[in-house]
Structure 1
């Protein structure tokens, strides 16, 4: 399990990341959210659903702390997780988040219907 200092550091990093990733003028059409529980963080994109005030959630990436390193998984169209082999596991969360952000292969930041 991650220590409290590391958890708080990641929360502060993610709060800044989701705030900066989506420009203010687009936040009524798309937003990024995340959930952190014990050794896992799931990054999600949300868009307005058919019903008023409802948002459809689409998982983007799952970060999992195991064996002193972060491993990253990508979501497929059925919302199941597969290892993201293009992301090199490492002990620095910021490094794996940067690899997901770059997404040279288009696994995380793809066009969504």
Structure 2
């Protein structure tokens, strides 16, 4: 399990990341959120659903702390995760987040229906 200091550091990093990723003028149409629990962080994209004040959540990436390193997974079909082989597990969360941001394999930031 992650220590409190590491959790707070990751929360601070992610709060800045999700704030900067989506421009202010688009935040009524799309937003990024994350959920940090124990050894796992799930990054999601949310878009408005047909009903007022409801958002549809689409998972983007799963970061999992195991064996003193972060492993990254991509969403297959909104319910399962597959390891992203091109991102080598790493002890530095910022490093794996940067690789997800660059998305050189094209598995995270694809067009959504």
Please say whether Structure 1 and Structure 2 have the same fold, judged by a TM-score greater than 0.5.
yes
**Secondary structure of 1:90's partner?**
coil
Cα distance in structure 1, aligned partners of 2:40 and 2:75: 14
CA shift for structure 1 position 52: 1.0
Report the more deviating stretch, 78-87 or 29-38. Answer: 78-87
Alignment TM-score, normalising by the size of structure 2: 0.98
Match of 1:54 in 2: 54
The residue aligned with 1:15 is 15
The two structures have a TM-score, normalised by structure 1, of 0.98
User: How many pairs does the alignment contain?
Assistant: 113
* Deviation >6 Å, runs of 4+: none
Name the CA distance, whole Å, in 2 between partners of 1:79 and 1:33: 17
2:52 counterpart SS class = coil
* Correspondence for 2:28: 28
Mind listing any 5+ residue stretches in structure 2 that lack a counterpart?
none
Q: 2:45–2:57: 8 Å Cα contact kept in structure 1?
A: yes
Aligned residue for 2:75? 75
State how far apart, in whole Å, the 2-side matches of 1:101 and 1:87 are.
12
For structure 1, the residue ranges without an aligned partner over 5 or more in a row are none
Q: 1:78 to 1:3 in 2, by over 3 A?
A: closer
